[in-house]
Amino acid sequence: MSTVDRREFLKASALAAATAAAARASGISLPILEPQAAPSSSAQALRWDKAPCRFCGTGCHVMVGTENGRVVAIQGDQKAEVNKGLLCVKGYHVGLALYGRDRLTQPMLRTQGRLVPISWDKALDIVADRIAADPGRFAIYGSGQWTIGEGYAANKFIKAGLGSNLIDANPRLCMASAVTGFISTFGVDEPPGVYDDLDRCDVAILWGNNMAEMHPVLFSRLVDRRARGEKVVIIDLTTRRTRTSELADQVLFFKPQGDLAIANGIAHQLVKNGTCDTAFVAAHCNFRRLGEPGADGAQPDMLGVPMTFEEYAKALEPYTPQRVEELSGVPAESIVMLGDLFGRRDRRINSLWCMGMNQHTRGTAINCLVHGIHLLSGHFGKPGDAATSLTGQPSACGTAREVGTLCHLLPGGLSVTNPGHRAIAEKHWNLEPGRLSGRIGLHAVELFKRFSTPTDQGGDITTVWVQVTNPAHTIPDLNHSIRRKAQLADKFLIVSDVYPTATTELADLVLPSAMWVEKNGMYGNSERRTQHWFKMVEPPGEARDDAWQMIAVSRRLFDRGVPGMRDKDGRWLFHTADSAGKEIPIWEWKRYYSDTVVDERLFDEYRAFSRHKHKDLAPYREYVKARGLRWPVVQNSDGEWKETRWRFTEGSDPYVAKGKGFQFYHSVTKDDRALIWFRPYEPPPEVPDAEYPFWLCTGRVLEHWHSGTMTRRIPQLHRAMPKAYVEMNHLDARALGVRSGEMVTVRSRRGEVDLPVWLGGRGDPRPGEVFVPFFDENPLINRVTLAAYDPYSKQPDYKKCAVAVVPKA
């Protein structure tokens, strides 16, 4: 096709996509058209295929246009229920994430301080040597950006192959408190509700959640209802004014950690006013509180101890509106308003949260409390009535939580500490009984602490293989964690990634990875939706799939006779055979895509685990056809695979028995009931004082995704938000004598960084608070943050620590 024809074709495609969006926005029903292929006369026709977006946990589907082996166009997928054809600014530019000029294309070994190209053969041998030398001191650190197949391969490699649980993943930093909240309340992880609740709620309450920037497509889904004449009230509970606040009906500012008091205040109002849904509570809930600490001061366990409704009501008595105002800063009348709102049966309420509630030293507690007020008031399990945790990464749910790439989990939500669960995994993996370890591995913060401590001082992790993530940028209190690795010669860091990062800077061995549509993949989004795509273009140079890297190392260890790499019948753990039973050498890159679909094989093996916790997945080929399916996915008598919207609700969830109405079939108390927890307000571990007088909150911005390694290579996004800044209130700036653009030092007890001040910008903190986005690798704000974490989820609190702000001379 000539350049001119091609441009005309792309212009027509652009207009068609915009027309479809205009029709949809106007409520006009037009047939959904497939994106047009280029004229057939072209030898290298433009081809369109579906994929989930590579960035956040929303799970928008994009249509990816490829031509001549390159991604050339992106449009929102109009067939996708999640985003209905819309995308955010990151989504529209996701294709460019593949084409930064500094893609890693060869394995590289650090030699005399420099990274020097080496062959894949040599690189794989080095990895195998490090593991074989001391498998008990080897750990894997992965990601919510791993595809399901990649996470499954890594999990099987270390848990079945090496018999250890020394694997954790970055969802520990963003999702872990949501997990412990769901498990504490329902006995099983992941949200009961779905995105349909956004379309059906009367009120959306955002708990410390800047949805307009972090989940813009979902926020549009909510806000666009107003344009259609629907009434939806948005209440923004926040510590600073954000873009979300601009579109909220009510903005309620709270002091850091004040969310615990607010939730208890709402529960207190429900009890005091007699507006609890007593029938729902009597039929479906039990009450719980934490037990007493152990004699050694150890945290009480997550199971808690029973309490009666009367004891629960008594525990809430101190949380009067006035007391809650003192603790949270939210006016007493607003607490009364929230209590009254939850007391109304004629309103559907959708609570939404993300990092604000999860990155919290009492993250488990606040998650439990928000579930609790929904249960107490009966705002549960009906369309629009839900408590919904939004995820930060595209497969934090699908890969980390469901596949179980965390140090305490096995696939399918099974636990390493449960002998019965280990037996199930041993059966699925065809291992001898007793092979799997029951000892919980190391969570992210502890893992990097051990790795960054000299071996002779207790630093018993000597080799870490990092895939698809950037811990030297994102771990809290970096100066006292992984960044100390540079001084430790006996520690070895392996990094598989697509671009140079703060972590490859420290790496001894760098392995170039394929990304997104350069490989087959599956993700799982925030609403239990499992999504699939096929490889569309070749990765650059010698970049290769992360799953292949893991499988190839496993084969080397198998060939060396490492016993864990074979099953009880002596076969290699990743044995793959053709229909005639002949082994396919998938450890050879040239055979990885040519003779089988490895991703399908891994997924269908993993799928067997999903049934034990009623997280049933459909066969791989069902996902090829769909724009994702929400589990549990069960097969009807007519053979059709049917997804589930509202879990635990009769008529929606196939596992709820007829006549039950609601059934919490994984109940902690084994009686089909959910738990309503009392958890008290507790102060944060570090508070501002005379020396460090400001609260520091960190977070993301619309244009950049996490540590910015992809989005900062997309010119449109990089130019729109080129560097980090510190937002502060104009009153504080005036007191310090600084103006917008002037440099200040942000300093904590742990480290300091220099940043320009931004006043009256996108966000506006309250007096005494500052905000710094974390996408910028220079400076690294995590040199300043605090490594304190929730005692149950082990998730660090990036949202509050004490800092000083000092003008630069």
Active site residues: 90, 174-175, 355, 392-393
CB of 80: closest distance to another protein in angstroms? 13
Q: Least distance (Å) from another protein to the CB of residue 8?
A: 10
Taking CB under 8 A as the criterion, the residue among 11, 560, 739, 808 binding another protein is 11
Q: How far is the CB of 7 from another protein (least distance, A)?
A: 7
Cα–Cα distance list, 233 to 200, 204, 230, 350 (Å): 12, 6, 10, 10
User: Between 101 and 114, whose beta carbon lies closer to another protein?
Assistant: 101
Q: Which residues within the stretch 577-616 sit at the binding site for another protein (CB under 8 A)? A: none
Among 51, 53, 71, 676, the residue binding another protein under the rule CB under 8 A is: 71
- Interacting residue with another protein among 23, 109, 302, 440 (CB under 8 A): 23
Smallest separation, CB 776 to another protein (Å): 10
Helix (H, G, I), strand (E, B), or coil: what is residue 226? helix
Q: Residue 12: count other Cβ atoms within 10 Å of its Cβ.
A: 11
Tabulate helix, strand, coil % of the chain (nearest 5).
35, 20, 45
Q: Does 499 bind another protein (CB under 8 A)?
A: yes
Q: Length of the chain in residues, anyone? A: 809
Whole-number CA gyration radius for the chain:
26
Asked if 18 is part of the footprint of another protein (rule: CB under 8 A), the reply reads: yes
Name the residue type at position 28.
I
SS3 98: helix
Residues 520-549 as x/- pattern, contact with another protein by CB under 8 A: ------------------------------
Report how far residue 269's alpha carbon sits from residue 274's, in angstroms, rounded to the nearest whole number. Answer: 8
Quick one: which of 37, 96, 109, 687 contacts another protein (CB under 8 A)? 96
Rounded Cα distance between 90 and 55, Å, is 8
Show Cβ contacts of residue 620 under 8 Å, excluding neighbours closer than 6 positions.
Answer: 532, 597, 599, 600, 603, 604, 607
Query: CB 101 → another protein: shortest distance, Å?
Result: 5
CA distance 274 to 204: 23
Backbone angles phi, psi at 474, to 5 degrees: -110, -15
Based on CB atoms, which residue is closest to another protein, 72 or 302? 72
Q: Which is nearer to another protein, 176 or 543 (CB)?
A: 543
Instruction: Pick one of 44, 99, 625, 683: the residue that binds another protein (CB under 8 A).
Output: 99
Task: Return the number of the residue (227 or 486) whose C-beta is nearest another protein.
Answer: 227
Q: Which listed range, 564-572, 630-638, 690-698, 707-715, lies at the site for another protein (CB under 8 A)?
A: 707-715
Q: How far is the CB of 361 from another protein (least distance, A)?
A: 32
41 is written with which tokens?
């006369």
Q: Is 70 in the site for another protein (CB under 8 A)?
A: yes
Which residue lies nearer to another protein by CB, 169 or 223? 223
With CB under 8 A as the rule, give the number of residues binding another protein.
55
Asked if 102 touches another protein (CB under 8 A), the answer is yes
Three-class DSSP category at 805: strand
Distance between the two ends of the chain, CA-based, in angstroms?
60
> x/- site string to another protein, residues 714 to 733, per CB under 8 A?
xxx-xxx-------------
Judged by CB under 8 A, which of 52, 59, 95, 394 binds another protein? 95
Restricted to residues 50-69, the positions that interact with another protein (CB under 8 A) are 65, 67
Name the minimum Å distance from CB 51 to another protein.
14
Tokens in use for 262?
């607010």
Taking CB under 8 A as the binding criterion, the range among 129-137, 266-274, 487-495, 704-712 that sits at the site for another protein is: 704-712
Contact between 215 and 58 under an 8 Å Cβ cutoff? The reply is yes
Considering only 97-105, 476-484, 634-642, 725-733, which stretch makes contact with another protein by CB under 8 A?
97-105
Stretch near another protein under the rule CB under 8 A, chosen from 14-22, 392-400, 421-429, 759-767: 14-22
Give the max Cα distance, the chain: 79
Cβ atoms of residues 518 and 539 within 8 Å: yes
- Per CB under 8 A, contacts with another protein among 72-91 are 72-76, 85-87, 89
Q: 188 or 543: whose CB is closer to another protein?
A: 543
Binding-site member from 185, 709, 793, 795 for another protein (CB under 8 A) = 709
Based on the shown chain and the rule CB under 8 A, indicate whether residue 393 belongs to the binding site for another protein.
no
Interaction between residue 15 and another protein (CB under 8 A): yes
Burial-class residue 75 by CB neighbours within 10 Å (0-12, 13-18, 19+): buried
708 scored as a contact of another protein (CB under 8 A): yes
HSE, CB side, 13 Å, CA atoms: give it for residue 531.
27
- Residue written as token pair 């004014």: 241
Q: Using CB under 8 A, pick the residue from 236, 769, 777, 790 that binds another protein.
A: 777
Which residue in 5, 26, 129, 314 binds another protein (CB under 8 A)?
26
Q: Are 675 and 185 in contact (CB under 8 A)?
A: yes
**Could you tell me which residues come within 8 angstroms of residue 651 by beta carbon, excluding any fewer than 6 positions away?**
none
- 619-658 residues in contact with another protein (CB under 8 A) are none
CA-based nearest residue to 51, from 520, 709, 559: 520
CB of 499 to another protein, least distance (A): 7
> Based on CB atoms, which residue is closest to another protein, 48 or 678?
48
Q: Please state whether beta strands 167-169 and 138-142 pair in parallel, antiparallel, or not at all (unpaired).
A: parallel
Among 1, 10, 251, 634, binds another protein (CB under 8 A): 10
In this structure, the number of other CB atoms found within 10 A of the CB of residue 451 comes to 27
Would you state the torsion angle of the CA atoms of residues 566, 571, 573, 574, taken in this order, to the nearest 10 degrees? 150
Q: Which of the stretches 6-14, 155-163, 238-246, 505-513 binds another protein when contact is defined by CB under 8 A?
A: 6-14
Q: Is 93 in the site for another protein (CB under 8 A)?
A: yes
* Cα 10 to Cα 17: distance, rounded to the nearest angstrom: 10
- Name the minimum Å distance from CB 753 to another protein: 18
Tokens representing residue 467 in the block: 């895939």
Gap between the Cα atoms of 250 and 284, Å rounded: 32
Cβ closer to another protein: 72 or 109? 72
**Residue 92 lies near another protein (rule: CB under 8 A):** yes
Residues 6+ apart with CB under 8 A from 549: 124, 467, 496, 511, 513
**How many CA atoms lie within 13 Å of 5's alpha carbon, on the beta-carbon side?**
9
Q: Considering the rule CB under 8 A, would residue 12 count as an interface residue with another protein?
A: yes
Residues 194-233 that bind another protein (CB under 8 A): 227
Q: Which segment (365-373, 665-673, 713-721, 795-803) binds another protein by CB under 8 A? A: 713-721
Residue among 22 and 282 whose Cβ is closer to another protein? 22
Place of tokens 């969802």: 171
Q: How far is the CB of 216 from another protein (least distance, A)?
A: 10
How many CB atoms within 10 Å of residue 6? 16
Pattern 787-806, binding to another protein, x per CB under 8 A? --------------------
Beta-carbon count within 10 A of 661 CB: 16
The candidate with the shortest Cα–Cα distance to 172, out of 795, 630, 612, 799, is: 795
Task: Pick the closest to residue 205 from 338, 358, 362 (CA basis).
Answer: 338
d(CA 600, CA 246): 45
Nearer to another protein, 28 or 489 (CB): 28
**H/E stretch holding 466:** strand 463-467
* Per-residue contact flags (x/-) with another protein for residues 451 to 490, judged by CB under 8 A: ----------------------------------------
Cβ atoms of residues 753 and 768 within 8 Å: no
* Residues at the interface with another protein (CB under 8 A): 7, 10-23, 25-28, 65, 67, 70-76, 85-87, 89, 92-93, 95-102, 227, 499, 708-709, 712-716, 718-720, 777
